Amino acid sequence: MSNKTHFGFEEVDINQKAKKVGDVFHSVAEEYDLMNDVMSFGMHRLWKRMLLELSGLSENAIALDIASGTGDIPKLISQKFPSSHIHVTDINESMLTLGKERSINENFYQNCSFALASGEKLPYQDQMFDLVTIGFGLRNFTDKQAGLREMKRVLRPGGILLILEFSKPTNSLFSKIYDWYSFNVIPRLGSLFVDDADSYKYLAESIRMHPAQEELKLMVIEAGFEKCKFYNLVNGVVAIHQAN
């Protein structure tokens, strides 16, 4: 088994990736929400609402959000299903702290629990959750397959996994435009708003290294899920994978 993995386009030792990714998110945490709005023209908010529409969630459900960041998805779940309980997790302390603060400031902390945790080794018992979500976090995992197996382990029978992630455009011309935007515009936006072009260069590279829609679907099935389908958004720039 190789002891190397990818950090963007760079090849690094497996045991180095988590720290490198952590450094990126410590660096961008304070302006994370602003940059999400700027880079996606605010569309990430719509994508997350679409994710929730596929959740099949009901009142009194127990949900887990992995790589929660500043808590966009837990906030949406809390607003739509106020009697649900959401476990909010992130491996990055800076991001999790911002998520906690936001939950208090925006009044959705009452039905949330927070945990500093890796999605590749979840601190939860088997078959605990009705829903597991992860938005724009899977591509940063060192071992994606291990993370998917953990998601399967903690889901109850009949529970749903939803993965929202950047993917591969289905139109070749659009793909070229998207590449130009990713590698020329996004790092400049990072430099302008966060004074950190390198972190956003990594984020653009990490998107290109992430499995395409069909490959990720097969990985989900390999992790033990019986069914998986995906929905392309914005010509495949983003995809939602739904599995159970």
Residue 89 pairs in a beta bridge with: 115
Residue 202, exposed/middle/buried by CB under 10 A (0-12, 13-18, 19+)? buried
130 is in an annotated binding site: no
Provide the residue type at 90 as one letter. D
Is 90 labelled a binding residue?
A: yes
Q: Per DSSP, what are the bridge partners of residue 229?
A: 242
Strand partners, 7: 10
| Residues in a beta bridge with 121 | 118
- Please name which of 40, 69, 193 lies closest in space to residue 140, comparing C-alpha atoms: 69
Write out the binding residues: 70, 90
Write out the binding residues for S-adenosyl-L-methionine: 70, 90
